[in-house]
């Protein structure tokens, strides 16, 4: 697929899914798993959790599309008719250690009395939906807030006094959509010196911030600093510096991490930057029959580590490494999902996402629930445990 088709596909599919993705609304405790997770992970802490491969695992998923009541219809691939289930029978195996399955009891012990916010676009929402399903076997939350478009939501788990948020943002920084005769254009002005207040205003009450960004950069955007236009993506305008997606994203990530690091009113926040989640359109773009109908993962030698996906991931990792030496009392981690998810073209809804208005168009961006996205929460709890005595 050429880069233009890839770009156009992401522009359309994300604009539609973010605006119109259906809304989100029990398994027994696994004592053995809970005890396993309480063992200090000394070897794991020396291990790169994100360098590994998928191995077959015939154990059942930790939840089903029946046991979890909050799966949105667009991610409920089995309800939408997906006939195969073999894509669930894989787990991520780091090269130098084992990655335990997510355990909700341990998670609640770690986050007791805390607030966690997932800050990003509809893929961040997809991640939260996975977490809600994994937690549902231990405790069902109370929904205490949602905005008028159901983009941002807050849940409260009373037994553990834990608050979970998803805060929707396109770019993390302030954006303004350009209008022509009052109509939206899909072109945005990004202001690098101003944060999106949707999340920045809430930062002082957050203990764990799970950030993600990048998908909305696959379109024409203009970047500003102190009111001055400093460049653009996909614009081709004369006299304006043309920026590559990864370069523009790096500017944004840098200022966002610096903002968090310099936030004087914020708690001793743990910021986790989740790296880019790749799309897998094959044999066409979104509007020319592009699909993702594989039923098995790819091998490590089948993925392209010279791709734009990997370049985006690399600058995200680089910016976390850059902020750590100057971090004050705050902590920064990377949730590096890109390599693992490059191998999982089988995990998307594809045609099984249930939108009757878009027959023939496939979702190769988001992830089925249950599905390989659940591994993101295996990674997340492992990172959290590195910052707790549990």
Active site residues: 122, 363, 366
Residue 171 in tokens: 């770019």
Q: Which helix (H) or strand (E) holds 233?
A: strand 228-233
Beta-carbon-side half-sphere exposure of residue 152 (alpha carbons within 13 Å): 13
d(CA 339, CA 298): 11
Per-position b or e across 21-39, b if 16+ CB within 10 A of its CB: bbebeebeebeebeeebee
Cα end-to-end distance, the chain, whole Å: 46
3-state SS, residue 157: strand
How far are the Cα atoms of 24, 58, 93, 101, 182 from residue 55, in angstroms, in the given order? 30, 10, 6, 14, 52
Q: What angle, 0 to 180 degrees and rounded to 10, lies between the N-to-C axes of helices 308-323 and 245-261?
A: 20
How far are the Cα atoms of 202, 350, 353, 355 from residue 74, in angstroms, in the given order? 29, 10, 4, 7
Residue 203 backbone phi and psi in degrees, to 5: -55, -40
Beta-carbon-side half-sphere exposure of residue 302 (alpha carbons within 13 Å): 12
Beta strand pairing call for 183-195 and 115-120: unpaired
CB distance 103 to 34 below 8 Å: yes
d(CA 31, CA 105): 9
């Amino acid at each position: 697929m050429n880069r233009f088709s890839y770009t156009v596909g992401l522009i359309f599919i994300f604009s539609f899914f973010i605006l119109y993705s259906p809304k989100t609304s029990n398994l027994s405790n696994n004592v053995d798993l809970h005890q396993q997770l309480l063992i200090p992970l000394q070897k794991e802490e020396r291990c790169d959790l994100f360098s590994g491969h998928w191995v077959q695992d015939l154990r059942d998923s930790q939840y089903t599309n029946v046991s979890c009541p909050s799966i949105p219809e667009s991610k409920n691939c089995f309800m939408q008719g997906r006939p195969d289930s073999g894509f669930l029978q894989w787990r991520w195996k780091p090269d130098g250690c084992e990655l335990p399955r997510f355990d909700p009891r341990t998670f609640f012990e770690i986050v007791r009395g805390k607030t966690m916010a997932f800050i990003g676009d509809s893929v961040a929402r997809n991640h939260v939906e996975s977490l809600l399903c994994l937690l549902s076997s231990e405790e069902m939350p109370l929904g205490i807030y949602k905005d008028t478009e159901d983009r941002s939501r807050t849940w409260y788990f009373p037994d553990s006094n834990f608050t979970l948020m998803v805060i929707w943002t396109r770019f993390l920084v302030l954006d303004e959509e350009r209008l022509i005769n009052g109509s939206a254009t899909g072109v945005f002005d990004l202001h690098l010196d101003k944060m999106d207040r949707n999340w920045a205003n809430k930062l002082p009450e957050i203990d764990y911030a799970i950030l993600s960004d990048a998908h909305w950069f696959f379109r024409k955007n203009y970047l500003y600093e102190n009111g001055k236009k400093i460049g653009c993506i996909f614009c081709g305008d004369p006299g304006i510096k043309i920026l590559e997606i990864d370069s523009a994203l790096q500017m944004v990530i840098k200022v966002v991490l610096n903002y968090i690091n310099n936030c004087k009113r914020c708690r001793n926040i743990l910021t986790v930057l989740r790296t880019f989640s790749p799309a897998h359109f094959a044999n066409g773009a979104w509007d020319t029959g592009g699909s993702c109908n594989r039923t098995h993962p790819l091998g490590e030698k089948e993925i392209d580590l010279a791709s734009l996906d990997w370049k985006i991931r690399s600058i995200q990792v680089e910016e976390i490494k850059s902020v750590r030496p100057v971090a004050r009392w705050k902590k920064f981690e990377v949730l590096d999902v890109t390599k693992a998810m490059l191998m999982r073209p089988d995990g998307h809804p594809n045609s099984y996402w249930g939108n009757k208005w878009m027959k023939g168009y496939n979702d190769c961006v988001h992830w089925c629930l249950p599905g390989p996205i659940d591994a993101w929460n295996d990674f997340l709890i492992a990172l959290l445990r590195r910052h707790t005595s549990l």
